[in-house]
Amino acid sequence: MTTQELEQLLAQQPIALLHRLARGRVQRHFRAGKRRLIEILLRHSAENRAGFESDLMILIGERPARPIPPAPQAPAVRKPKPAAPQHRTTHRPVEPDSHEPAITLSSWLDGLGVPPPKAFVPDAWQEDAIAKLREGDVVVSVPTGSGKTYVAVEAARRAIAENRTVIYTSPLKALSNTKYTEFSKIFGADQVGILTGDRRDNGQAPLLIMTTEILRNLLYDAGGGEIDIRLDTLGLVILDESQYIADPERGVVWEETIIFCPGQARMLLLSASIGNPHDIAEWLTSIRPTPCHLVRHSTRTVPLRAGYLHPNGKLMPLFRTIGIPHGHPSHLHPETKRLFAQYEDETLPTGRRR
Amino acid sequence: MPPSIHPVDLILALRDKHLTPAIVFLTSRRACDEAMQAFDHSQILLPPIRQQAIADVLEKVIAQYPSIAEHPLIPTVQRIGVAAHHAGHLPSWKIAVEELMRHGCLDAVFATTTLAAGVDFPARTVIITQSSIRKSRDFTDLTIGEVQQIAGRAGRRGKDLVGFAIVTPSPYIDLNVLTKGFTGHPEAINSQFLISYPMVLNLLKAHPLDQIQPILAKSFAQFQLNQRAEVLERKLDGLREQMEPFGPRVCTDWITEWQTFDQVRRQKSHRAPARKHEPPEITARFHFLTPGRVVGIGRSRGVVLRQYRSKGQKSPMITALRQGGGITESPASTVTEVSDRVLDCVDAPVYPWCTPESVEELLRHLEELPGRLPELPILIPKDDEPIPDAIVQTLGDFACPTCPSRSACQRDYPHASKLRQEQQRHLKSIQALRTSLWHRFQEKIDVLQEFGYLTPTAHLTADGEWARLIRIDHSLLITELIRADAFNGADPAMLAAVMSSIAHDDDRPGAFPRVSSGLGSLLGQVRKLALSLSPHEDPPLLRADIAAVTERWIGDPSLTWIGLCKSTTMAEGDIYRLLARTLEFLSQLHTLKGTHPGLADTASRAIANLRRGVLEELP
């Protein structure tokens, strides 16, 4: 290959390939533009032209065949489009990978199945939450699907046994309806009532389900002197999905409800995992007559594994460990990393494919 | 390679690895619908037993909610065991899908991420195809909490030993966001304490004004503000400690003392050269003394031909063509007035600085000009405010030049003054943090007093008494409409239509039925009022097309649900939600039966008309 041919071949390659080629050959090659880079590469390849050419061929061969761009004189550096968020991946400093070997797909899939039926035994945190409710208010912050409903049901059962009224609120009407059906099955239809903007079923039942807005309105009307509901016998208020307190539009309703909730009633706040549940607990302690306990639990009852499905149908673990490596987002499975890089390469607008 | 996996391949892969049932989260409703269409001609059928099981469950749900009996997705659901579940569907359809999932009949549900926050039905596997969601028109990256909420649907307690969250790339994915979401710690949540008008009215109904501040102090918002204030206070303590070595010297407030002294010193030295410069009026005017400008020089008038700064002359100069034809050079300071007229003038590089023709032209124009010309308003930039002479006079009175601690003050001043500035900044922000809620509350009180819902002593007026019962968005607009008697004589359909256009906050385009002329003019009035209220309350979208949908449904009791859906391109679920929200607004109006019996009656008639068909069958 003559120097001129080589130069032309280099000019046809994407700049990323040239940089890879320059790695170990040229110092500070990332500073150079394409034309300059080619110049430097040619100068440095003078000593070992054969090795240089074979490296180039390997790099070119790694990429699938592509149409040769019409203009042999490629434009200088093509700037990556700033709109492509995927590019962030490549520029992040990579933290060192763990040195254990990555797991295989079969061991990742291992353990899939249905557990043998066994009697329900409440988790320690569930028992804890129910016990703490005797002493004061409780904030529960646990991952999705850990069994918050069990705590709500047990707490409600105990309050009803003491002839106290229980109010259960959820953020959405649809959720209220689901819970109404669910609780009616557990406690019996005559024990459960529902209040929504336009529906009032069994309003005298000991367990009342409503949206948080309705409860807020009830508390306001009580504050205005028009007692609507038996607030004096109110024993327990359960606020489900209380992470809604951070909702930009509706969050204030949760705050109002908590501020105006009568002092003799206990509060049970059920929330998904949030970063600062202790703040909520502290806040409740500071404004309510009884101290508030925080029940927090971060491991999931059913363990979670993360996977990666390539568009060609190939399934791989996402991380190199079998579970989720908490705190180590970069412990990706090497094969997944390669597949995803390949995917990005082929779909990115800056790649050779348009 | 395709940009993302084909739905049929996806289901096959999941079945192959025994990863069903799965929830597939897609970016949009359309993506869900298209995924369902992909199965139209697919032959990956379920075994007959499972098809039968699905049919059984569906039959039960249909018995309860007949509206979904004809749902177009049912054949695909039965054949393949996949379903779509998103906000465009009727609640009854969503209930059916949830019921099927609960019985374990389905292999996959295609859903939008709204599902993650709403109803909970878990699955063995969750498929994630996106790393951002649409929040009020913009796509934002998923937070860690949201990723965990989505992934948390994987793994059913008692039915699965392990749950799987599987990422599959699509053009909308940033793997980093997701891996961070999986492995990270959820974000802290922050209070969003919006003070609304009904809140103010209701609080003031129950509590006198002087008790409000303690109530606001009980909010989570104030709790978090206090936390921030405490951080600042700790910083303040640290600053105080750092300031200690700079404690009182000869004078107690030596920093201020030195600052004034230092300033005066500097000012003094600057003053002398500043005098030599031209006065600022001249500088400001000189910019406008361009060729052709008509100016007054002394008592006569002239046209500027050129301007220059001569080295021999200290002041800037102009060459002007005077009345009578003379061309004079004069300092710019002799210009007594600058008019706003500029005459056409062709420049030339040598005397007389413009072409001879234009000299004559100019002279003619100059003679024709009226006696008085408006002056050009020229803004004169203020010079640095000079220190009043009185202070300068007393420079000798400062103790500093002879003070024994002068050198220490001079040395410490830069550091100490920086610390003190920081201290003052912190004090100000602490003050703001402690009182901001109260100020926001007071702003609302002011508005309510201005509109007459509150007396000057912050008690509820007669209007305030009923207005506090309207506890929905845009309450100020609604109460003002009621006070303006805007609904006087409006029929139920019209009232409901206006309410629905106030309630609706989605700007999805589409095709809608026509608006009746009566409704159109009423909406025009509402829009005018909403605009005039906009300093106090964000105006609603007030879409007439949306109002027309509601008007048709309520105005025509013989209209069926299918008929309504056919009249617009709005999705069924959206129409349902629109009507449900209208119902909510109407039932708020219904609570005003004590003070506005006519309106409450119209509202209740509208509610009666609204609740039929699909809206009646649902809880």
Chain B positions in Cβ-Cβ contact with residue A224 (cut-off 8 Å)? 202, 205-206, 468
How far apart are alpha carbons A102 and A333 in whole angstroms? 6
Nearby residues of B520 by Cβ (< 8 Å), 6 or more positions away? B544
Domain span holding position A208: 124-296
Higher pLDDT: B386 or B503? It is B503
Q: What is the pLDDT of residue B233?
A: 95
Name A160's Cβ contacts closer than 8 Å, sequence gap at least 6: A166, A187, A191, A206, A207
Question: pLDDT at residue B4 above 90?
Answer: no
Give per-residue burial for A158-191: e unless 16+ CB within 10 Å, then b.
Answer: bbbeeebbbbbbbbbbbbbbbbbeebbeebeeeb
Residue A229 pLDDT > 80, yes or no? no
Residue B557: pLDDT over 60:
yes
Contact B19, B166 (CB under 8 A): yes
Does residue A198 contact residue B582 with C-beta atoms inside 8 Å?
Answer: no
DSSP code for B334: G
Shortest Cα distance, chain B CAs vs residue A35, angstroms = 31
CB spacing of B159 vs A177 below 8 angstroms: no
Tokens 């600058």 sit at which residue? B338
Q: Give pLDDT, residue A94.
A: 46
Question: Does the beta-carbon distance from A88 to B176 stay under 8 Å?
Answer: yes
- Would the CB atoms of A145 and B202 count as touching at under 8 Å? no
Geometric angle at alpha carbon A335, from A330 and A341, rounded to 5°: 70
**B111 Cβ contact list (under 8 Å, min separation 6):** B23, B24, B25, B26, B32, B84, B85, B86
Average pLDDT of the residues in A57-77: 56
Q: Does A163 touch chain B (CB under 8 A)?
A: no
For residue A153, give every residue at least 6 positions away whose Cβ sits within 8 Å of its Cβ, in sequence order, or none: A183, A186
Q: What is B469-617's CATH number, 3.40.50.300, 3.50.30.50, 1.10.3380.30, 2.60.130.10?
A: 1.10.3380.30
Q: What is the mean pLDDT of the segment spanning B391-420?
A: 80
- pLDDT of B446 reads 95
Determine the CATH number of domain B289-368.
2.30.30
Instruction: Judge whether residue A79 has pLDDT over 60.
Output: no
Q: At residue A329, what is the residue type?
A: P
Q: Which of A88, A143, A256 sits opposite B152 (nearest CB)?
A: A143
- Whether residues A152 and A202 fall in one domain: yes
The pLDDT of residue A65 = 47
- Whether A72 and A47 map to the same domain: the answer is yes
Tens-digit pLDDT profile for residues A172-190? 888 888 889 899 999 999 9
Helices (H), B394-491: 406-451, 462-467, 475-483
Judgement on whether residues A223 and A317 belong to the same structural domain of the protein: no
Q: How far apart are CA B497 and CA A183, in angstroms?
A: 36
Q: What is the mean pLDDT of residues B176-185?
A: 92
What is the rounded CA–CA span in Å between residue A252 and residue B194? 6
- Structure confidence at residue A75 (pLDDT): 46
Separation of first and last alpha carbons in chain B: 47
Together in a domain, A199 and A262: yes
Is position A211 within any domain?
A: yes
Quote the pLDDT of residue A222.
Answer: 80
User: In terms of pLDDT, which residue wins out, A351 or A33?
Assistant: A33
More confident residue, A54 or B461: B461
Residue B186 predicted with pLDDT over 60 = yes
Distance, CA of B78 to CA of B94 (rounded, Å) = 16
Shortest CA gap A5–chain B (Å): 32
Report pLDDT for B274: 44
Same domain for A334 and A291, yes or no, is no
Q: Does A325 lie in the same domain as A252?
A: no
User: Is position A90 within any domain?
Assistant: no
Shortest distance between the Cα of A244 and any Cα of chain B, in A, equals: 9
Q: Confidence class of residue B152 from pLDDT cuts 50, 70 and 90?
A: confident
Q: Measured between CB atoms, does A16 come within 8 Å of chain B?
A: no
Q: Which two tokens stand for residue B277?
A: 């410069």
Pick A23 or B50 by higher pLDDT: B50
Which one of B166, B180, B193 has the shortest CB-CB distance to A329? B180
Query: Which residues of chain A neighbour B202 with C-beta distances below 8 Å?
Result: 220, 223-224
Binary contact (A304, B155; C-beta < 8 A): yes
Q: Is the pLDDT of residue A280 over 50?
A: yes
Task: Test A311 with B192 for CB contact under 8 angstroms.
Answer: no
Q: Which residues on chain B are in Cβ contact (under 8 Å) with A253?
A: none
Same domain, A145 and A282: yes
When CB atoms are compared, the residue of B10, B162, B194 closest to A112 is: B162
Using alpha carbons only, give the angle A5, A10, A11 rounded to the nearest 5 degrees. 100
Q: Judging by beta carbons within 10 Å of its beta carbon (0-12, 13-18, 19+), is residue B40 exposed, middle or buried? A: exposed
Nearest-Cα distance to chain A for B404, in Å, is 53
pLDDT category, B149, cuts 50, 70, 90?
confident
> Is A119 among the domain residues?
no
pLDDT digit string, tens, across residues B502-526: 999 888 888 888 888 889 999 999 9
What integer pLDDT is reported at residue A63 of this predicted model? Answer: 63
Confidence of residue A83 (pLDDT cuts 50, 70, 90): very low
pLDDT in tens, B313-337: 677 888 898 888 888 888 888 888 8
The answer to whether the CB atoms of A255 and B219 lie below 8 A apart is: yes
For β-strands B22-26 and B108-112, DSSP reports them as parallel
- Is the confidence at residue A164, as pLDDT, over 60? yes
A308 and A290 in a single domain? The answer is no
Residues A321 and A201 in one domain: no
Q: Say if the Cβ atoms of A282 and B223 lie within 8 Å.
A: yes
The pLDDT of B579-606, averaged and rounded, is 92
CATH number of the domain encompassing residue A243: 3.40.50.300
The rounded distance, in Å, linking the Cα atoms of A335 and A330 is 13
Q: d(Cα B154, Cα B147) in Å, to the nearest integer?
A: 12
DSSP of A69-133, one letter per residue?
Answer: PS-SS--SPPPPPTT-GGGHHHHSPPPPPPSSPPPPHHHHHTT-SPPPP------HHHHHHHHHT
Give B-chain residues touching A217 at CB under 8 angstroms.
471
What is the spatial distance between Cα B352 and Cα B350, in angstroms, rounded to a whole number? Answer: 6
What residues in A contact B164, CB-CB < 8 Å?
112, 304-307
In a domain, A83, yes or no: no
Q: Residue B399 is encoded by which pair of tokens?
A: 């103790």
Give the pLDDT of residue A147: 84
Q: What is the pLDDT of residue B210?
A: 92
Q: In this complex, is the C-beta atom of A248 within 8 Å of any C-beta atom belonging to chain B?
A: yes
Q: Which of A253, A269, A169 is nearest to B194 (CA)?
A: A253
Residues A292 and A307 in one domain: no
Segment B181-201 shows an average pLDDT of: 92
Cβ-defined contact of B120 to A318 (cutoff 8 Å): no
Of A173, A274, A311, the CB nearest to B145: A274
Q: Do B145 and A273 touch (CB under 8 A)?
A: yes
How far, in Å, CA of B202 to CA of A217, rounded?
Answer: 9
Residue of A113, A178, A311 with shortest CB distance to B2: A311
Ranking A256-265, B13-22, B246-255 by mean pLDDT, the lowest is B246-255
* Residue among A113, A243, A340 minimizing CB distance to B189: A243
Give domain status of residue A95, yes or no.
Answer: no
Q: What is the pLDDT of residue B114?
A: 66
Tell me A31's DSSP state.
Answer: G
Q: Show me where the domains of chain B are located.
A: 7-183, 289-368, 469-617
**pLDDT of A93 over the 60 cut:** no
* Cβ-defined contact of A255 to B221 (cutoff 8 Å): yes
Task: Flag whether pLDDT at A233 surpasses 60.
Answer: yes
Shared domain check, A215 and A72: no
State ipTM. 0.75
Q: Indicate if the pLDDT at residue B135 is higher than 90.
A: no
Spacing of C-alpha B414 from chain mean position = 41
Second-level CATH architecture of B7-183: 3-Layer(aba) Sandwich (3.40)
Position A92 scores a pLDDT of 46
Tell me phi and psi for residue B500, to 5 degrees: -70, -35
What pLDDT does B449 receive? Answer: 95
Express as a percent the part of chain B with pLDDT over 70.
93
Per-residue pLDDT, B55: 93
Q: Chain A partners of B182 at a C-beta cutoff of 8 Å?
A: 306, 318-319, 324, 329
Contact B83, B109 (CB under 8 A): yes
**What is the tens place of the pLDDT at every residue in B56-102?**
999 999 998 888 888 899 999 999 999 998 888 888 888 899 889 98
How sure is the predictor about A22, in pLDDT bands with cuts at 50, 70 and 90?
confident
Contact B382, B365 (CB under 8 A): no
DSSP-based three-state secondary structure for A227: coil
Residues of A whose CB is below 8 A from B22: none
Question: What mean pLDDT, rounded, does chain B reach?
Answer: 87
Cα separations in angstroms, B381 against B133, B275, B281, B284: 51, 16, 8, 8
Chain A partners within 8 Å of B18 (Cβ) = 112
Determine the residue among B60, B179, B224 to mutate to test chain A binding: the one whose Cβ has the most chain A Cβ atoms within 10 Å: B179
> For residue A313, what is the nearest residue in chain B, using CA coordinates?
B13
Give bridge partners of residue B138 from the DSSP assignment: B135
Would the CB atoms of A258 and B220 count as touching at under 8 Å? yes
Query: Could you tell me if B482 and B596 are in contact, meaning their C-beta atoms sit under 8 angstroms apart?
Result: yes
* pLDDT greater than 90 at residue B136: no
Q: How many domains does chain A have?
A: 3
d(CA B34, CA B30): 6
**Same domain for A330 and A291:** no
Question: Scanning the structure block, which residue is given the tokens 């700790």?
Answer: B234
Residue A191 has pLDDT above 80, yes or no: yes
